[in-house]
Structure 1
């Protein structure tokens, strides 16, 4: 009877050792899977951070460009008023565009329409882009 108890106890010990070994191996496998998932999550996080940095840099650049555009556009209402208040005897920009279409030079536009050289060059360039 004692021998049966010893054999049963030995069998139980072997079964317990096998179960412990199986649990340890299962735990290692779970740890490896978790490490792989953690690595993938970290890679996704780094990619998202990289994208966010790119979007932020783009937004900053757009904000700077918008600020520059505001600076450039701000004086335009005053310049428009100046143009509208020019001598009524001088030819309008529409007439200057028509003359440019007929092949008038920058000098001819400045003399006949009262435009500055830059304005006359702009009228000629605009007319060329439409032609």
Structure 2
């Protein structure tokens, strides 16, 4: 009988120790779960921030692509226009005509009407011709 009582006492002690160990393990598990939840929240916040940044970059890329497309549309006819200008007779250019007229004493108003220049362009041509006359 004593053996049974000792065995029951040892078993009770083992169960108590096992219960304490299980309680400590459960508490440690709760702490780890809470720490993991905090890390998950930080990770989720970073993922959201990266998603917002990626979206902003994509919007910028789309706008840049649209602007590039518009620039291509504007620039595409320029080689043809340049070829046309290169093939034109230099005497037919409005600036050449304006320089000749200014050299003959035409006024700024005459240059704007006959050559299709703006007033500022006509004034520039006139002043350049006057400066050339002054140097000669």
Structure of larger gyration radius: 2
TM-score by length of 1: 0.68
Equivalent position of 2:67 in the other structure: 65
1:115 and 1:79 map into 2 onto residues whose CA distance is 19
2:13 and 2:94 map into 1 onto residues whose CA distance is 110
Aligned residues: 113
What SS does structure 1 have at the residue aligned with 2:40? helix
- After superposition, the Cα gap between the structure-2 partners of 1:109 and 1:48, relative to the gap in structure 1 and judged at 3 Å, is farther
- Would you say 1:24 and 2:26 are equivalent positions? yes
1:109 and 1:62 map into 2 onto residues whose CA distance is 42
What SS does structure 1 have at the residue aligned with 2:70? helix
Shift of 1:72: 0.8
Q: Residue by residue, what CA displacement relative to the aligned partner does 1:16-74 show, whole Å, maximum 9, x if unpaired?
A: 11011011111111111111111111111111111111111111000000000011111
Shift of 1:81: 2.6
What SS does structure 1 have at the residue aligned with 2:90? coil
- After superposition, the Cα gap between the structure-2 partners of 1:93 and 1:81, relative to the gap in structure 1 and judged at 3 Å, is farther
Q: Please show how residues 84-123 of structure 1 align to structure 2 within 5 Å.
A: 84-90=86-92, 110=112, 114=115, 116-117=117-118, 120=121
The alignment's C-alpha RMSD in Å is 3.3
Unaligned runs of 5+ in 2: 126-136
TM-score by length of 2: 0.66
Shift of 1:116: 5.0
Unaligned runs of 5+ in 1: 125-131
Residue range with higher mean Cα deviation, 2-11 or 31-40: 2-11
